[in-house]
Chain A
Amino acid sequence: MKFTLSWLKDHLETDATLDEIVETLTMIGLEVEEIIDPSKKLAPFHIAKVLDAKPHPNADRLQVLTVDAGSGDPLKIVCGAPNARAGLVGVLARPGDYVPGIDVTLSVGKIRDVESFGMMCSERELELSDEHSGIIDLPEYAPVGANYAEWAGLDDPVIDIAITPNRSDCLGVHGVARDLAATGMGKLIEPRREQIHGVGDCPVSVQLAFGDTPSLCPAFGLRLVTGVKNVASPKWMQQRLIAIGLRPINALVDITNYMTYDRGRPLHVFDAAKVTGDLVVRRGRAGEKILALDGKEYAVDQTMCVISDDNGLESIAGVMGGELSDCSEETTDVLIESALWEPINIAQTGRKLGLNSDARFRFERGVDPAFMIQGLEEATRLVVDMCGGTASKMTIAGEVPDHNHIVEFPLSEVKRLSGLEVSAAEIKVVLTRLGFWVSGTGSQWKVAVPSWHPDVEGKADLVEEVMRIVGVDKVPTTALPRLDTVGRQVLTVGQVQRNKARRMLAARGMNEAVTWSFIPQEQAKTFGGGQPEIELANPISTDMSDMRPSLIPGLLTAAQRNADRGNGDVALFEVGQVFHGDRPEDQKTVATGVRRGTAVMTGAGRHWSGSAPSVSVYDAKADAIAALEAIGAPTGNLQVFAEAPDWYHPGRSGTLRLGPNNVLASFGEMHPKVLKQLDVEGPIVAFEVHLDAVPEPKHKGKTSHSKGALAISGLTPVRRDFTFVVDDDVDADKLVRAARSADKALVKDVNVFDVYRGTGVAEGKKSIAIDVTLQPVQKTLTEEDIEAVAAQIIAGVEKATGGTLRG
């Protein structure tokens, strides 16, 4: 919402400076976005008089002017304007001045061999209007040498304020002035209540034709003015419209625009000569089209409200008029419309058509219904004053709704909600200045809400009105009382788990990423997603179409982006949400990571101490186990399954489970087909830990946090090595488990320290070497004891794996 300072002062009598006004506007909720001071742009230009005009010696259309700029030293200026003549008082630009309309900084020029020391400007050259048929021609009395902008009143600062959706009352300058006046900054100037005595009835009648569908137009006022001359609007009006970025067109159109910004009252004018029959306000019909004033054609439908006559559609109601009955310089009879529309319908229509207008902006936020008729009177006054003519009586279809909203207002609400101490007298002054009617004495008032405040619904809204005018800065800062206890744990188990997984993975050298929650559909489908219910109906691009079922695709492509930028050895992880459906319980939390190139935990790349190997499935497995360990999962009970989802390499991937069905994590090399689909190059491995699948730690809820007594055997542990030859497809895990269960009391640890295939081991076989730690509990082990356990281990492993002890 833009207006100029002088415009504001039409409505507000005040001595306040621009700075004070700007500061106050912001602090009462009308945030000033920008102040544009055109006097800066126009500062160089001064009033000058042409003393003499002679034909240019070398050009027919040019003249050589002698110009008095007030300095007593006349300048020679070459000029091509047809209206340049001796005695003309105009506006001069001198060498060094920047002329905005032609985007040129002047210098002394030579035009057809005659030197020119400046130029006399047109309005277009100063960006005052589109006028360029001649140079500016000022009245003779304009003071030569004076600053033009100052003299012409063009140094009027433009204030641009942001209006929140609830403040439709401030979409006109008058409303802004009312708010400022309420702060005590000045006095609101109430405009004269115009009342035009119409002559004769309006010959065009209005029908609200909504049949049995809900009406989209509560009321519609119309009046004919005959015998107008649609001249240019007066200079002051044009200047204001230009200042706020509107283009003056002709008086009738300018008046509607002016009323929109001055009073927040959009109007429409029809050239009566182009209207045939009655105006019918109705719903649009399928197939109907209208050429609107913006020169574009719009197709309307039955959800939209239109105004039609016998010729067809004349206007998209409350949004934009049509070309058909457009007012031009030839217009002699004009129909002026002032109406009320359904705000929601206007918003929906504008959105559907992709059509923004000043009228839509106001109607969808709600205009003052009580001003519909008065607005038409004021517009008529302006038309008659500027264009002459005779106004008919008004015709009104429908009925202006009664605005009679009363709020029961206990004054204590101000203190209760805002903490402000304000006296009853002050509350009354503020509300009254804002236009509220206050009745009642004591602490319980009845407050009548003015018709221009559709947002004020209840007590809290009145508190806001009081607080914003009195000043939020007057609210004393009050410490929030501390709770009665020392701070307790505030994070849930899930939140703690996420934090721990995150820090563990970072401590393993991985870098945390935050990737988009939506991914391309093709990728979603590959990773088990792509359900229609979680495909966005309005994605921002096809690359962000589906909610992600896994973090792996986002991380894989991120790793590849890094590789493309020269960081091929990259370890990334993310702890975040994935989606398997659209119910809240379908949203799960995972901790996922990828390692690419040689980004193993101990450090990537070549190194004198030994270069890092390519990442392998075991790196991903270790990450997954570490993350599980960090969040307190019972990792000792994990079972490793050599089965994993399809996006992994079938022979180099696995899952970690608690029992056969509870999958806590998956890990592995990526399937080459998946990499190809995602355009990602390996070597690359990934893991995914399903945080929600991890059971809550056991100690949760227990009163004791004791870790129990530590039982340490003083007896020295014994270690023995065994090497078995087994079939190549036997999992090491099977062998380890067999060794471990050979004597659960004695066997404390089993570690695989070598896996070998090749010379000395038959084709299709491999040798696996383990070292077994035996921990005696009661007595030192004798050689016989050890031999006995060893025999059990060998027998157990051979039975479980079908292998043999390697001699």
Chain B
Amino acid sequence: MSDLKSLESELTAAIEAAGDEAALEAVRIRALGKKGVVSEQMKTLGKVSPEERQTMGPALNGLKARIGDAIAARKEALEDATLETRLAGERVDVTLPVRPGPATEGRIHPVSHVVDELTAIFADMGFSIAEGPDIETNEHNFTALNFPEGHPAREMHDTFFFPEKEDGDRLLLRTHTSTVQIHTMRNGEPPLRVIIPGRTYRCDSDQTHTPMFHQVEGLVIDKGSHIGHLKWVLQEFCKSFFEVDDIKMRFRPSFFPFTEPSMEVDIGCEFAGDEIRIGEGDDWLEILGCGMVHPNVLRNCGLDPDVYQGFAWGMGIDRIAMLKYGMPDLRAFFDADLKWIKHYGFRPLDLPTLFGGLSA
């Protein structure tokens, strides 16, 4: 038995000493191989007395198992060590910068984003989106909208014209999206609820005016909508758009040829340095014009003003974008400066929704 003990300690030492898998394999063969020392001992079991076998059997089996385990353990340790060495050699510098990928680089222009915001808000109120051409007739841009020929209100629009035609008429670039009111009423049947975003043009250029800008028009025509509804729609819009719980609004009587009564709308704000805080403070900021659709306009579209009624409003998309997102200069909207787009633009996956938030 003492032989077995010394054999075991000798083998255990050899296993521990094995420096690599080959050496360990040599130890295994020497111990547990067909001709290995433990195997040889096992073979002797047949030749000993039953009594001796009673003790030697378990002792040898125990030895065999322990040596096997020791080899397996040693083998795993050696493999781990090898792997560790390999992994250590495979280290890379994870601090190196990576390319962020295109979806993080691209930007949506604020005007597009704001149009999507408008769409989300007004779609919820049952409005659809109407559009019309940029090149328009005098009839659609002025006459049908109750601008009398030669009236100063026509002049206030600083219209871009195209060359005169043979019949003396001349086409123009629409000065407002109100032209699409006419298309909508002439081509559709009330009840109508539309908003009309689009490009508009006036030959005017200075710090706050560009010859091209964006407007959004709203139109509701049915048999009962009045100024109380108009106030509600615009109040709800402003709260939703500016993402505030409450907003102070002021409706002032004003004048537009195509609405009667007409109003301009101011929102409460505070001028804090460069920043304008919407909904706070004691200052007023004009943001839109509105009113009940003028009976003459309804008539011009084939609707009886004693039966049908409704309201319309118009505001500058660029302007409300500037107010909400703090762009100081309108001209930069059309300059395509990368630094500006990166700063004020929106990520391609920032789709404004009412359920997920508008400005995201």
Tell me the A residues contacting B by CB distance below 8 Å.
26-29, 31, 164-167, 343-344, 347-348, 351, 364-365, 415-420, 458-461, 463-464, 467-468, 472-473, 475-480, 482-483, 487, 490-492, 495, 499, 502-518, 532-540, 544, 547, 554-555, 558-559, 561-562, 565, 567, 570-572, 575-577, 579, 582-584, 586-587, 601-603, 607-609
Contacts and interface: CB of A to CB of B under 8 A. Distances in A.
A513 B161 contact: no
Nearest to A576: B199
A478 B233 CA distance: 9
Nearest to A476: B228
B162 A419 contact: no
Interface stretch (B5-13, B59-67, B78-86, B335-343): B335-343
Contacts of B131: 492, 495
B104 to A, nearest CB: 8
Contacts of B253: 27-29, 464, 467-468, 472
B171 interface: yes
B119 A514 contact: no
A782 to B, nearest CB: 42
A27 B127 contact: no
Contact of B226 (A416, A517, A534): A416
A74 B189 CA distance: 85
A344 B151 contact: yes
Contacts of A579: 134-135
A507 B119 contact: no
Interface in B125-181: 125-129, 131-135, 148-153, 155-156, 160-164, 170-171, 173
Size bin of chain B's contact surface: 35 or more
Listed residue (A479, A508, A536) with the most chain B CB atoms within 10 angstroms of its CB: A536
A246 to B, nearest CB: 22
Nearest to B171: A582
Chain A at the B interface: mostly helix, strand, loop or mixed? mixed
B309 to A, nearest CB: 6
A506 B108 contact: yes
Q: Which of B108, B119, B131, B135 has the most CB of A within 10 A?
A: B135
Give me the 4 closest cross-chain CB pairs, A-B, nearest first: A509-B102, A419-B228, A29-B253, A164-B255
B225 interface: yes
B353 to A, nearest CB: 12
* B101, B134, B253: residue with the most chain A Cβ atoms closer than 10 Å: B253
B220 interface: yes
17 contacts: A417-B226, A463-B292, A475-B231, A478-B231, A482-B126, A492-B131, A511-B341, A514-B109, A516-B211, A517-B134, A517-B199, A535-B162, A537-B170, A540-B204, A540-B205, A561-B337, A608-B96
**Which of B128, B228, B305, B334 neighbours the largest number of chain A CB atoms within 10 Å of its CB?**
B228
B336 A365 contact: no
Interface of B: 96-103, 105-109, 111-112, 116, 119, 123-129, 131-135, 148-153, 155-156, 160-164, 170-171, 173, 193, 199, 201, 203-205, 211-212, 220, 225-229, 231-233, 235, 250-255, 260-264, 292, 294-295, 305, 309, 333-339, 341-342, 345, 347-349, 351
Contacts of B251: 472-473, 475
Contacts of B99: 602-603, 607, 609
A570 B127 CA distance: 38
Given A503-B351, A512-B107, A558-B336, A538 B255 contact: no
Contact of A347 (B155, B255, B333): B155
Contacts of A518: 211-212
Contacts, number: 270
B126 A511 contact: no
A450 to B, nearest CB: 18
A515 B341 CA distance: 13
Nearest to A562: B338
Contact of B295 (A31, A459, A577, A587): A459
A134 B177 CA distance: 60
Given A480-B225, A514-B333, A503 B348 contact: yes
B212 A365 contact: no
Nearest to B333: A514
A186 B123 CA distance: 47
Given A167-B255, A538-B160, 19 more contacts: A28-B253, A344-B149, A351-B155, A364-B152, A418-B261, A460-B305, A464-B253, A468-B261, A475-B228, A479-B232, A491-B129, A503-B349, A509-B103, A511-B107, A513-B341, A514-B111, A536-B162, A584-B132, A608-B97
Contacts of B204: 540
B31 to A, nearest CB: 46
A703 to B, nearest CB: 22
Nearest to B93: A608
A165 B96 contact: no
A478 B228 contact: yes
A478 B341 contact: no
Nearest to A27: B252
Nearest to A603: B99
Contacts of A554: 336
A419 B226 contact: yes
Contacts of B170: 537
Nearest to A164: B255
A219 B347 CA distance: 66
Contacts of A499: 116
Contacts of B97: 607-608
A608 B156 CA distance: 59
A567 B173 CA distance: 34
Contact of A492 (B98, B129, B134, B212): B129
Contacts of A504: 348
Given A540-B205, A540-B211, A584-B135, A417 B337 contact: no
A478 B232 CA distance: 6
Contact of B229 (A416, A479, A491, A609): A479
B173 to A, nearest CB: 8
Contacts of A507: 102-103, 106, 348-349
Contact of A516 (B116, B162, B334): B334
Nearest to B305: A460
A513 B332 CA distance: 11
Contacts of A586: 135
A547 B125 contact: no
Contacts of B260: 460-461, 463-464
B150 to A, nearest CB: 4
A584 B133 contact: yes
A505 B228 contact: no
Contacts of A558: 335-336
B124 A487 contact: yes
A472 B135 contact: no
Nearest to A572: B336
B105 A603 contact: yes
Contacts of A416: 226, 309
B121 to A, nearest CB: 11
A467 B227 contact: yes
A31 B220 CA distance: 27
B228 A417 contact: no
Q: Which of B106, B199, B348 has the most CB of A within 10 A?
A: B106
Contacts of B262: 464
Contacts of A495: 129, 131
B160 A536 contact: yes
A76 to B, nearest CB: 47
Q: Among A507, A515, A538, which residue has the most Cβ atoms of chain B within 10 A?
A: A507
A96 to B, nearest CB: 31
Given A164-B255, A567-B339, A417 B334 contact: no
A571 B348 CA distance: 14
B182 to A, nearest CB: 13
A361 to B, nearest CB: 9
Nearest to B311: A417
B153 A165 contact: yes
Contacts of B250: 27, 473
Given A458-B295, A480-B220, A538 B228 contact: no
B162 A533 contact: yes
Given A513-B336, A536-B161, A603-B99, A506 B106 contact: yes
